[in-house]
Structure 1
Amino acid sequence: QTQKTTLAGFRLLDPRGVVIAGREEIGQSLADVAEVRAALAGRYASALRLRIPNQPTPPLYSVSRGTRVRVFVAMPVAVEGRIAGVVYLSRTPNNIVKHLYGERGKVTLAAIAIVGGTLLIGLVFLRTVSRPIYGLIERTKRIAAGDREAMKPLDHHGTRELAELSAAFLDMAQKLQARSDSIQTFATYVSHELKSPLTAIQGAAELLRDSGEAMDEAERKRFSNNIVTDAGRLNLLVRRLLELARVENLAPSGESTSLDAALALLP
Protein backbone atom coordinates (compact mmCIF):
# COMPACT_ATOMS: atom_id res chain seq x y z
CA GLN A 1 0.00 0.00 0.00
CA THR A 2 2.85 2.39 0.80
CA GLN A 3 4.49 1.61 -2.52
CA LYS A 4 1.27 2.36 -4.42
CA THR A 5 0.87 5.67 -2.57
CA THR A 6 4.44 6.95 -2.85
CA LEU A 7 5.36 5.25 -6.17
CA ALA A 8 8.71 4.37 -4.60
CA GLY A 9 10.65 1.15 -5.11
CA PHE A 10 10.87 -0.97 -1.89
CA ARG A 11 13.43 -3.67 -1.08
CA LEU A 12 13.78 -5.51 2.20
CA LEU A 13 17.29 -6.62 3.17
CA ASP A 14 18.33 -9.12 5.82
CA PRO A 15 21.09 -8.31 8.39
CA ARG A 16 23.74 -9.28 5.82
CA GLY A 17 22.41 -6.90 3.15
CA VAL A 18 20.84 -9.59 0.95
CA VAL A 19 17.53 -8.71 -0.77
CA ILE A 20 14.71 -10.89 0.62
CA ALA A 21 11.83 -8.96 -0.96
CA GLY A 22 11.91 -6.66 -3.98
CA ARG A 23 11.03 -8.05 -7.38
CA GLU A 24 13.88 -9.42 -9.49
CA GLU A 25 16.64 -8.34 -7.08
CA ILE A 26 15.82 -11.09 -4.56
CA GLY A 27 18.97 -12.94 -3.53
CA GLN A 28 21.33 -10.14 -4.58
CA SER A 29 23.67 -8.67 -1.98
CA LEU A 30 23.65 -4.88 -1.65
CA ALA A 31 25.96 -4.80 1.36
CA ASP A 32 28.61 -2.90 -0.63
CA VAL A 33 26.28 0.03 -1.40
CA ALA A 34 27.30 2.99 0.77
CA GLU A 35 23.88 3.81 2.19
CA VAL A 36 23.09 0.13 2.83
CA ARG A 37 26.41 -0.31 4.63
CA ALA A 38 25.56 2.70 6.82
CA ALA A 39 22.09 1.28 7.57
CA LEU A 40 23.57 -2.11 8.53
CA ALA A 41 25.70 -0.16 11.01
CA GLY A 42 22.52 1.30 12.53
CA ARG A 43 22.53 4.74 10.81
CA TYR A 44 20.00 6.28 8.46
CA ALA A 45 21.55 7.07 5.08
CA SER A 46 20.47 8.47 1.72
CA ALA A 47 22.07 9.18 -1.64
CA LEU A 48 21.27 11.02 -4.87
CA ARG A 49 22.65 9.44 -8.03
CA LEU A 50 22.73 10.39 -11.68
CA ARG A 51 21.65 7.97 -14.34
CA ILE A 52 24.10 7.27 -17.18
CA PRO A 53 22.06 7.14 -20.41
CA ASN A 54 24.73 5.51 -22.59
CA GLN A 55 25.13 2.50 -20.29
CA PRO A 56 22.74 -0.37 -19.42
CA THR A 57 20.39 0.46 -16.57
CA PRO A 58 21.54 -1.21 -13.30
CA PRO A 59 19.03 -3.46 -11.50
CA LEU A 60 18.44 -0.96 -8.70
CA TYR A 61 17.67 1.93 -11.12
CA SER A 62 14.15 2.25 -12.51
CA VAL A 63 13.34 4.09 -15.71
CA SER A 64 13.29 7.83 -15.06
CA ARG A 65 9.97 9.64 -15.25
CA GLY A 66 11.51 12.82 -16.59
CA THR A 67 14.61 13.42 -14.46
CA ARG A 68 18.14 12.03 -14.66
CA VAL A 69 18.52 11.52 -10.90
CA ARG A 70 17.15 9.02 -8.38
CA VAL A 71 17.00 9.19 -4.60
CA PHE A 72 18.02 6.15 -2.51
CA VAL A 73 17.13 5.84 1.20
CA ALA A 74 18.23 3.06 3.58
CA MET A 75 16.39 2.74 6.93
CA PRO A 76 17.75 0.30 9.53
CA VAL A 77 15.26 -1.95 11.34
CA ALA A 78 16.29 -2.66 14.93
CA VAL A 79 14.80 -5.37 17.10
CA GLU A 80 15.86 -5.50 20.76
CA GLY A 81 18.89 -3.38 20.01
CA ARG A 82 20.08 -5.48 17.10
CA ILE A 83 19.83 -4.72 13.35
CA ALA A 84 17.23 -7.13 12.01
CA GLY A 85 17.21 -5.78 8.48
CA VAL A 86 17.09 -2.77 6.23
CA VAL A 87 14.27 -1.13 4.32
CA TYR A 88 15.78 0.17 1.10
CA LEU A 89 13.73 2.67 -0.90
CA SER A 90 14.35 4.42 -4.20
CA ARG A 91 12.36 6.96 -6.13
CA THR A 92 12.80 9.31 -9.08
CA PRO A 93 11.71 12.85 -8.14
CA ASN A 94 9.26 14.73 -10.29
CA ASN A 95 10.76 16.81 -13.07
CA ILE A 96 10.50 20.58 -13.04
CA VAL A 97 7.37 20.66 -15.22
CA LYS A 98 5.47 18.29 -12.99
CA HIS A 99 6.66 20.12 -9.91
CA LEU A 100 5.58 23.51 -11.28
CA TYR A 101 2.22 22.06 -12.26
CA GLY A 102 1.79 20.77 -8.74
CA GLU A 103 2.68 24.22 -7.43
CA ARG A 104 0.67 26.04 -10.08
CA GLY A 105 -1.11 28.20 -7.52
CA LYS A 106 2.14 29.54 -6.12
CA VAL A 107 3.64 29.84 -9.61
CA THR A 108 0.64 31.88 -10.75
CA LEU A 109 0.95 34.20 -7.76
CA ALA A 110 4.68 34.58 -8.40
CA ALA A 111 4.05 35.38 -12.08
CA ILE A 112 1.43 37.99 -11.13
CA ALA A 113 3.85 39.51 -8.62
CA ILE A 114 6.65 39.63 -11.21
CA VAL A 115 4.40 41.19 -13.86
CA GLY A 116 3.04 43.68 -11.35
CA GLY A 117 6.52 44.58 -10.16
CA THR A 118 7.69 45.01 -13.75
CA LEU A 119 4.75 47.30 -14.53
CA LEU A 120 5.44 49.30 -11.37
CA ILE A 121 9.11 49.69 -12.28
CA GLY A 122 8.07 50.73 -15.80
CA LEU A 123 5.70 53.37 -14.43
CA VAL A 124 8.37 54.70 -12.09
CA PHE A 125 10.88 54.79 -14.95
CA LEU A 126 8.33 56.58 -17.16
CA ARG A 127 7.65 59.10 -14.44
CA THR A 128 11.23 59.78 -13.39
CA VAL A 129 13.16 59.43 -16.66
CA SER A 130 11.15 59.14 -19.87
CA ARG A 131 8.58 61.85 -19.19
CA PRO A 132 11.13 64.60 -18.35
CA ILE A 133 13.25 63.62 -21.37
CA TYR A 134 10.27 63.85 -23.73
CA GLY A 135 9.34 67.17 -22.11
CA LEU A 136 12.84 68.49 -22.70
CA ILE A 137 12.72 67.32 -26.34
CA GLU A 138 9.41 69.13 -26.82
CA ARG A 139 10.90 72.28 -25.28
CA THR A 140 13.86 72.00 -27.65
CA LYS A 141 11.56 71.92 -30.67
CA ARG A 142 9.59 74.92 -29.39
CA ILE A 143 12.75 76.93 -28.71
CA ALA A 144 14.08 76.06 -32.17
CA ALA A 145 10.82 77.35 -33.62
CA GLY A 146 11.35 80.68 -31.82
CA ASP A 147 8.93 80.23 -28.93
CA ARG A 148 10.34 82.33 -26.08
CA GLU A 149 7.70 81.02 -23.66
CA ALA A 150 9.38 77.60 -23.80
CA MET A 151 12.41 78.92 -21.89
CA LYS A 152 11.11 78.05 -18.46
CA PRO A 153 11.77 75.12 -16.08
CA LEU A 154 9.95 71.83 -16.60
CA ASP A 155 7.01 70.95 -14.37
CA HIS A 156 8.53 67.57 -13.45
CA HIS A 157 12.24 66.78 -13.49
CA GLY A 158 12.11 63.22 -12.13
CA THR A 159 15.70 62.92 -10.95
CA ARG A 160 18.31 65.39 -9.77
CA GLU A 161 20.51 64.69 -12.80
CA LEU A 162 17.65 65.46 -15.21
CA ALA A 163 16.87 68.63 -13.26
CA GLU A 164 20.49 69.77 -13.63
CA LEU A 165 20.46 68.86 -17.34
CA SER A 166 17.22 70.78 -17.89
CA ALA A 167 18.52 73.84 -16.03
CA ALA A 168 21.79 73.81 -17.97
CA PHE A 169 19.97 73.43 -21.29
CA LEU A 170 17.50 76.25 -20.60
CA ASP A 171 20.32 78.50 -19.37
CA MET A 172 22.20 77.81 -22.59
CA ALA A 173 19.07 78.54 -24.65
CA GLN A 174 18.54 81.84 -22.81
CA LYS A 175 22.15 82.88 -23.39
CA LEU A 176 21.94 81.98 -27.07
CA GLN A 177 18.69 83.93 -27.38
CA ALA A 178 20.24 86.94 -25.66
CA ARG A 179 23.24 86.70 -27.96
CA SER A 180 20.94 86.46 -30.98
CA ASP A 181 19.07 89.57 -29.82
CA SER A 182 22.36 91.42 -29.35
CA ILE A 183 23.53 90.41 -32.82
CA GLN A 184 20.23 91.52 -34.32
CA THR A 185 20.42 94.90 -32.56
CA PHE A 186 24.06 95.27 -33.55
CA ALA A 187 23.29 94.39 -37.18
CA THR A 188 20.51 96.99 -37.25
CA TYR A 189 22.84 99.66 -35.85
CA VAL A 190 25.65 98.75 -38.25
CA SER A 191 23.25 98.77 -41.20
CA HIS A 192 22.19 102.29 -40.24
CA GLU A 193 25.80 103.39 -39.85
CA LEU A 194 26.72 101.95 -43.25
CA LYS A 195 23.66 103.36 -44.98
CA SER A 196 24.34 107.00 -44.04
CA PRO A 197 27.78 107.42 -45.69
CA LEU A 198 26.78 105.24 -48.63
CA THR A 199 23.76 107.46 -49.29
CA ALA A 200 25.91 110.58 -49.02
CA ILE A 201 28.52 109.16 -51.39
CA GLN A 202 25.90 108.08 -53.88
CA GLY A 203 24.18 111.49 -53.78
CA ALA A 204 27.43 113.43 -54.21
CA ALA A 205 28.56 111.19 -57.05
CA GLU A 206 25.24 111.58 -58.87
CA LEU A 207 25.44 115.40 -58.53
CA LEU A 208 28.98 115.41 -59.91
CA ARG A 209 27.90 113.21 -62.80
CA ASP A 210 24.71 115.08 -63.70
CA SER A 211 25.83 118.68 -63.15
CA GLY A 212 28.52 118.57 -65.83
CA GLU A 213 29.85 122.04 -66.63
CA ALA A 214 27.05 123.78 -64.66
CA MET A 215 28.81 123.16 -61.32
CA ASP A 216 31.59 125.55 -60.43
CA GLU A 217 34.95 124.43 -59.10
CA ALA A 218 34.13 125.27 -55.46
CA GLU A 219 30.99 123.10 -55.40
CA ARG A 220 32.77 120.29 -57.24
CA LYS A 221 35.53 120.36 -54.66
CA ARG A 222 33.03 120.40 -51.79
CA PHE A 223 31.18 117.35 -53.12
CA SER A 224 34.48 115.59 -53.77
CA ASN A 225 35.54 116.27 -50.19
CA ASN A 226 32.20 114.87 -48.98
CA ILE A 227 32.82 111.68 -50.95
CA VAL A 228 36.31 111.34 -49.52
CA THR A 229 35.06 112.01 -45.97
CA ASP A 230 32.23 109.50 -46.20
CA ALA A 231 34.54 106.93 -47.78
CA GLY A 232 36.88 107.44 -44.82
CA ARG A 233 33.96 106.82 -42.46
CA LEU A 234 33.19 103.57 -44.27
CA ASN A 235 36.83 102.53 -44.12
CA LEU A 236 36.95 103.27 -40.40
CA LEU A 237 33.72 101.36 -39.84
CA VAL A 238 35.05 98.30 -41.66
CA ARG A 239 38.28 98.38 -39.62
CA ARG A 240 36.25 98.57 -36.39
CA LEU A 241 34.16 95.60 -37.48
CA LEU A 242 37.34 93.59 -38.16
CA GLU A 243 38.64 94.54 -34.70
CA LEU A 244 35.34 93.43 -33.16
CA ALA A 245 35.60 90.07 -34.94
CA ARG A 246 39.11 89.56 -33.54
CA VAL A 247 37.92 90.45 -30.04
CA GLU A 248 35.07 87.93 -30.34
CA ASN A 249 37.51 85.21 -31.39
CA LEU A 250 39.79 85.96 -28.44
CA ALA A 251 36.93 85.97 -25.88
CA PRO A 252 37.12 83.14 -23.30
CA SER A 253 34.93 80.09 -23.82
CA GLY A 254 31.36 80.79 -22.82
CA GLU A 255 31.90 84.57 -22.79
CA SER A 256 31.46 87.27 -25.40
CA THR A 257 31.81 91.02 -25.64
CA SER A 258 28.75 92.96 -24.63
CA LEU A 259 26.68 94.98 -27.07
CA ASP A 260 27.80 98.23 -25.49
CA ALA A 261 31.44 97.33 -26.01
CA ALA A 262 30.71 96.39 -29.61
CA LEU A 263 28.84 99.61 -30.31
CA ALA A 264 31.69 101.59 -28.70
CA LEU A 265 34.00 100.38 -31.45
CA LEU A 266 31.79 101.99 -34.08
CA PRO A 267 32.28 105.67 -35.03
Structure 2
Amino acid sequence: MEVEAYRRLFPLPYYERHLAESVRPTPASRPIPDTTVAVAPSPPPTGPPSSKVGDTTMLAAIKLEVMTPGAESPDQGSLGIEFHMPPICSPLVRPGRPAEVAPVISKQISDVVMSSGVIDLKELSLINGKAAWMAYLDIYCLNADGSLFDAALLSAIAAFSNLQIPLVSVNEDGRVIAVSGKLQEESKLELVNKEKRKLSLRSTPFSLTCMLHKNYIFADPTAEEESIMDTVVTVVIDSLGRLVSVYKAGGSVLVYNSALQECIILAKKRAEELQKILADALSPQMDLDSD
Protein backbone atom coordinates (compact mmCIF):
# COMPACT_ATOMS: atom_id res chain seq x y z
CA MET A 1 0.00 0.00 0.00
CA GLU A 2 2.85 2.39 0.87
CA VAL A 3 4.59 1.61 -2.42
CA GLU A 4 1.43 2.32 -4.42
CA ALA A 5 0.87 5.58 -2.54
CA TYR A 6 4.47 6.64 -3.25
CA ARG A 7 3.98 5.79 -6.92
CA ARG A 8 0.87 7.97 -7.14
CA LEU A 9 2.30 10.90 -5.18
CA PHE A 10 5.82 10.91 -6.66
CA PRO A 11 5.60 9.12 -10.00
CA LEU A 12 8.82 10.48 -11.53
CA PRO A 13 11.12 9.59 -8.59
CA TYR A 14 9.39 6.21 -8.46
CA TYR A 15 10.22 5.55 -12.11
CA GLU A 16 13.77 6.88 -11.82
CA ARG A 17 14.47 4.62 -8.87
CA HIS A 18 13.40 1.57 -10.89
CA LEU A 19 15.19 2.69 -14.04
CA ALA A 20 18.42 3.07 -12.07
CA GLU A 21 18.17 -0.67 -11.43
CA SER A 22 17.33 -1.38 -15.12
CA VAL A 23 13.71 -2.19 -14.23
CA ARG A 24 10.71 -0.73 -16.04
CA PRO A 25 7.82 -0.72 -13.54
CA THR A 26 4.98 -1.12 -16.05
CA PRO A 27 3.30 -3.99 -17.89
CA ALA A 28 5.29 -2.86 -20.94
CA SER A 29 8.51 -4.04 -19.29
CA ARG A 30 8.54 -7.05 -21.62
CA PRO A 31 10.83 -6.53 -24.65
CA ILE A 32 8.01 -6.37 -27.22
CA PRO A 33 4.35 -5.60 -26.45
CA ASP A 34 1.74 -7.93 -27.87
CA THR A 35 0.97 -6.63 -31.36
CA THR A 36 -1.86 -8.01 -33.49
CA VAL A 37 -3.62 -7.13 -36.73
CA ALA A 38 -7.05 -8.52 -37.56
CA VAL A 39 -8.33 -8.30 -41.14
CA ALA A 40 -11.81 -9.54 -42.03
CA PRO A 41 -11.98 -12.22 -44.72
CA SER A 42 -13.40 -11.14 -48.07
CA PRO A 43 -15.84 -11.94 -49.47
CA PRO A 44 -17.92 -11.08 -47.58
CA PRO A 45 -16.24 -8.59 -45.22
CA THR A 46 -17.33 -9.08 -41.62
CA GLY A 47 -15.82 -5.95 -40.16
CA PRO A 48 -13.12 -3.28 -40.59
CA PRO A 49 -9.45 -4.04 -39.87
CA SER A 50 -8.23 -3.58 -36.31
CA SER A 51 -4.81 -3.34 -34.70
CA LYS A 52 -3.56 -3.67 -31.15
CA VAL A 53 -0.22 -2.56 -29.72
CA GLY A 54 -0.03 -3.53 -26.07
CA ASP A 55 -3.40 -2.43 -24.70
CA THR A 56 -3.89 0.35 -27.27
CA THR A 57 -6.57 -0.75 -29.74
CA MET A 58 -7.62 0.83 -33.06
CA LEU A 59 -10.31 0.19 -35.64
CA ALA A 60 -10.10 1.59 -39.19
CA ALA A 61 -12.68 1.87 -41.96
CA ILE A 62 -12.56 3.27 -45.51
CA LYS A 63 -15.48 4.76 -47.43
CA LEU A 64 -15.22 5.44 -51.18
CA GLU A 65 -17.06 8.25 -52.98
CA VAL A 66 -16.85 9.43 -56.59
CA MET A 67 -15.55 12.98 -57.03
CA THR A 68 -14.42 15.26 -59.82
CA PRO A 69 -10.62 15.50 -59.73
CA GLY A 70 -8.94 18.88 -59.56
CA ALA A 71 -7.53 20.56 -62.65
CA GLU A 72 -3.99 20.31 -61.24
CA SER A 73 -4.22 16.49 -60.94
CA PRO A 74 -6.91 15.24 -63.36
CA ASP A 75 -5.62 11.65 -63.27
CA GLN A 76 -5.53 11.25 -59.48
CA GLY A 77 -7.93 10.47 -56.67
CA SER A 78 -7.77 11.88 -53.16
CA LEU A 79 -7.46 10.75 -49.55
CA GLY A 80 -9.08 12.11 -46.42
CA ILE A 81 -7.85 10.79 -43.05
CA GLU A 82 -9.46 11.41 -39.65
CA PHE A 83 -8.44 10.05 -36.24
CA HIS A 84 -11.20 9.82 -33.63
CA MET A 85 -10.97 9.42 -29.85
CA PRO A 86 -14.46 8.75 -28.42
CA PRO A 87 -14.91 8.94 -24.63
CA ILE A 88 -14.91 5.15 -24.42
CA CYS A 89 -11.18 5.03 -25.22
CA SER A 90 -9.92 6.84 -22.11
CA PRO A 91 -11.24 8.44 -18.91
CA LEU A 92 -9.26 11.54 -19.92
CA VAL A 93 -11.54 12.11 -22.94
CA ARG A 94 -14.70 13.90 -21.84
CA PRO A 95 -18.05 13.61 -23.67
CA GLY A 96 -18.70 16.62 -25.87
CA ARG A 97 -15.06 17.73 -25.76
CA PRO A 98 -12.83 16.38 -28.54
CA ALA A 99 -9.40 15.15 -27.51
CA GLU A 100 -6.67 17.68 -28.29
CA VAL A 101 -4.33 15.01 -29.65
CA ALA A 102 -6.83 13.68 -32.22
CA PRO A 103 -6.29 16.32 -34.96
CA VAL A 104 -2.53 16.13 -34.39
CA ILE A 105 -2.49 12.39 -35.07
CA SER A 106 -4.80 12.87 -38.07
CA LYS A 107 -2.28 15.30 -39.57
CA GLN A 108 0.68 13.03 -38.79
CA ILE A 109 -0.97 9.99 -40.39
CA SER A 110 -1.86 12.03 -43.49
CA ASP A 111 1.69 13.39 -43.76
CA VAL A 112 3.24 9.92 -43.45
CA VAL A 113 0.88 8.32 -45.99
CA MET A 114 1.52 11.06 -48.54
CA SER A 115 5.29 11.49 -47.98
CA SER A 116 6.03 7.75 -47.95
CA GLY A 117 4.37 7.23 -51.34
CA VAL A 118 2.68 4.08 -50.06
CA ILE A 119 -0.38 4.82 -52.24
CA ASP A 120 -0.29 5.89 -55.87
CA LEU A 121 -3.23 8.30 -56.16
CA LYS A 122 -3.42 7.50 -59.88
CA GLU A 123 -4.82 4.09 -58.91
CA LEU A 124 -7.88 5.94 -57.60
CA SER A 125 -8.59 7.53 -60.98
CA LEU A 126 -11.68 6.40 -62.92
CA ILE A 127 -12.08 8.72 -65.92
CA ASN A 128 -9.26 11.17 -66.59
CA GLY A 129 -10.38 14.69 -65.66
CA LYS A 130 -13.97 13.60 -64.96
CA ALA A 131 -14.20 11.06 -62.16
CA ALA A 132 -11.97 9.63 -59.43
CA TRP A 133 -12.31 7.97 -56.05
CA MET A 134 -12.23 9.97 -52.85
CA ALA A 135 -11.15 7.56 -50.09
CA TYR A 136 -12.17 8.58 -46.57
CA LEU A 137 -10.19 6.73 -43.88
CA ASP A 138 -11.58 6.93 -40.35
CA ILE A 139 -9.50 5.53 -37.50
CA TYR A 140 -11.26 4.99 -34.17
CA CYS A 141 -9.34 4.56 -30.92
CA LEU A 142 -11.13 1.95 -28.80
CA ASN A 143 -8.58 1.93 -25.98
CA ALA A 144 -5.86 4.53 -25.45
CA ASP A 145 -2.87 3.29 -23.46
CA GLY A 146 0.03 5.08 -25.10
CA SER A 147 1.81 4.87 -28.47
CA LEU A 148 -1.39 6.01 -30.22
CA PHE A 149 0.32 6.99 -33.46
CA ASP A 150 1.99 3.58 -33.87
CA ALA A 151 -1.29 1.67 -33.52
CA ALA A 152 -3.19 4.19 -35.68
CA LEU A 153 -0.68 3.96 -38.53
CA LEU A 154 -0.71 0.16 -38.37
CA SER A 155 -4.52 0.09 -38.58
CA ALA A 156 -4.43 2.57 -41.49
CA ILE A 157 -2.03 0.38 -43.47
CA ALA A 158 -4.16 -2.69 -42.70
CA ALA A 159 -7.26 -0.85 -43.96
CA PHE A 160 -5.58 0.22 -47.22
CA SER A 161 -4.23 -3.32 -47.69
CA ASN A 162 -7.76 -4.69 -47.28
CA LEU A 163 -9.49 -2.16 -49.55
CA GLN A 164 -11.35 -3.55 -52.57
CA ILE A 165 -11.87 -1.14 -55.48
CA PRO A 166 -15.41 -1.92 -56.72
CA LEU A 167 -16.59 -2.33 -60.30
CA VAL A 168 -18.20 0.84 -61.71
CA SER A 169 -19.87 1.97 -64.91
CA VAL A 170 -21.34 5.16 -66.37
CA ASN A 171 -25.13 5.26 -66.78
CA GLU A 172 -27.16 7.17 -69.39
CA ASP A 173 -27.10 10.33 -67.26
CA GLY A 174 -23.33 10.29 -67.14
CA ARG A 175 -23.19 9.29 -63.48
CA VAL A 176 -20.67 6.77 -62.21
CA ILE A 177 -22.47 3.89 -60.47
CA ALA A 178 -21.33 0.76 -58.69
CA VAL A 179 -22.05 -2.44 -60.58
CA SER A 180 -22.65 -5.82 -59.00
CA GLY A 181 -22.09 -9.01 -60.95
CA LYS A 182 -25.83 -9.59 -61.35
CA LEU A 183 -26.50 -6.02 -62.52
CA GLN A 184 -23.69 -6.29 -65.04
CA GLU A 185 -25.19 -9.44 -66.57
CA GLU A 186 -28.70 -7.96 -66.81
CA SER A 187 -27.87 -4.51 -68.19
CA LYS A 188 -24.69 -5.29 -70.12
CA LEU A 189 -23.15 -2.10 -68.78
CA GLU A 190 -19.69 -1.25 -69.98
CA LEU A 191 -17.31 -1.18 -67.05
CA VAL A 192 -14.90 1.67 -66.40
CA ASN A 193 -12.58 -0.69 -64.52
CA LYS A 194 -12.49 -4.24 -65.83
CA GLU A 195 -12.12 -6.10 -62.54
CA LYS A 196 -12.18 -5.71 -58.79
CA ARG A 197 -8.73 -5.04 -57.47
CA LYS A 198 -6.74 -3.90 -54.51
CA LEU A 199 -4.37 -0.99 -54.22
CA SER A 200 -0.72 -1.67 -54.99
CA LEU A 201 0.88 -0.52 -51.74
CA ARG A 202 4.51 0.51 -52.05
CA SER A 203 7.16 1.01 -49.37
CA THR A 204 4.74 0.46 -46.49
CA PRO A 205 5.49 2.75 -43.49
CA PHE A 206 5.65 1.52 -39.89
CA SER A 207 6.45 3.47 -36.76
CA LEU A 208 7.91 3.11 -33.29
CA THR A 209 7.51 5.56 -30.42
CA CYS A 210 10.33 5.83 -27.89
CA MET A 211 10.45 7.60 -24.53
CA LEU A 212 13.69 9.38 -23.65
CA HIS A 213 14.60 10.23 -20.06
CA LYS A 214 18.16 11.17 -19.07
CA ASN A 215 20.28 8.33 -20.46
CA TYR A 216 17.37 5.90 -20.74
CA ILE A 217 15.51 4.94 -23.92
CA PHE A 218 12.50 2.65 -23.90
CA ALA A 219 10.01 1.83 -26.61
CA ASP A 220 6.21 1.62 -26.66
CA PRO A 221 5.47 3.97 -23.76
CA THR A 222 2.19 3.48 -21.94
CA ALA A 223 -0.23 6.33 -21.24
CA GLU A 224 1.09 6.48 -17.67
CA GLU A 225 4.67 6.80 -18.84
CA GLU A 226 3.77 9.47 -21.41
CA SER A 227 2.07 11.51 -18.67
CA ILE A 228 5.19 11.42 -16.49
CA MET A 229 8.00 11.98 -19.01
CA ASP A 230 7.71 14.58 -21.73
CA THR A 231 10.40 13.61 -24.27
CA VAL A 232 8.78 11.36 -26.87
CA VAL A 233 10.26 10.53 -30.27
CA THR A 234 8.38 8.68 -33.00
CA VAL A 235 10.37 7.24 -35.89
CA VAL A 236 8.72 6.10 -39.14
CA ILE A 237 10.56 3.52 -41.27
CA ASP A 238 9.23 2.05 -44.52
CA SER A 239 9.31 -1.60 -45.56
CA LEU A 240 12.52 -0.96 -47.54
CA GLY A 241 14.31 0.18 -44.39
CA ARG A 242 14.30 3.86 -45.35
CA LEU A 243 13.71 6.66 -42.86
CA VAL A 244 10.41 8.41 -43.64
CA SER A 245 10.09 10.87 -40.77
CA VAL A 246 10.91 11.65 -37.15
CA TYR A 247 8.47 13.35 -34.77
CA LYS A 248 9.35 14.88 -31.43
CA ALA A 249 6.21 15.82 -29.55
CA GLY A 250 6.90 18.74 -27.22
CA GLY A 251 9.38 18.60 -24.37
CA SER A 252 12.21 20.99 -23.61
CA VAL A 253 14.98 18.36 -23.64
CA LEU A 254 17.25 18.23 -26.67
CA VAL A 255 17.57 14.86 -28.40
CA TYR A 256 21.19 13.98 -29.05
CA ASN A 257 22.26 12.27 -32.26
CA SER A 258 23.32 9.14 -30.38
CA ALA A 259 19.88 8.77 -28.81
CA LEU A 260 18.17 9.44 -32.13
CA GLN A 261 20.32 6.85 -33.89
CA GLU A 262 19.38 4.28 -31.24
CA CYS A 263 15.68 5.06 -31.79
CA ILE A 264 16.12 4.59 -35.55
CA ILE A 265 17.81 1.22 -35.02
CA LEU A 266 14.95 0.09 -32.78
CA ALA A 267 12.40 1.38 -35.32
CA LYS A 268 14.00 -0.60 -38.16
CA LYS A 269 13.79 -3.80 -36.12
CA ARG A 270 10.16 -3.08 -35.24
CA ALA A 271 9.31 -2.36 -38.91
CA GLU A 272 10.55 -5.83 -39.85
CA GLU A 273 8.42 -7.38 -37.11
CA LEU A 274 5.29 -5.42 -38.07
CA GLN A 275 5.76 -6.23 -41.75
CA LYS A 276 5.64 -9.93 -40.91
CA ILE A 277 2.63 -9.51 -38.59
CA LEU A 278 0.72 -7.65 -41.31
CA ALA A 279 1.65 -10.22 -43.98
CA ASP A 280 0.47 -13.06 -41.73
CA ALA A 281 -2.84 -11.25 -41.12
CA LEU A 282 -3.42 -10.67 -44.84
CA SER A 283 -2.35 -14.10 -46.09
CA PRO A 284 -5.66 -15.92 -45.34
CA GLN A 285 -7.58 -13.22 -47.19
CA MET A 286 -5.21 -13.38 -50.17
CA ASP A 287 -5.93 -17.12 -50.37
CA LEU A 288 -9.68 -16.37 -50.44
CA ASP A 289 -9.27 -13.73 -53.14
CA SER A 290 -7.27 -16.12 -55.32
CA ASP A 291 -10.08 -18.67 -55.03
TM-score over 0.5 (shorter chain):
no
Greater gyration radius: 1
Higher share in strand: 2
Structure (1 or 2) with the greater helix fraction: 1
TM-score relative to the length of structure 1: 0.21
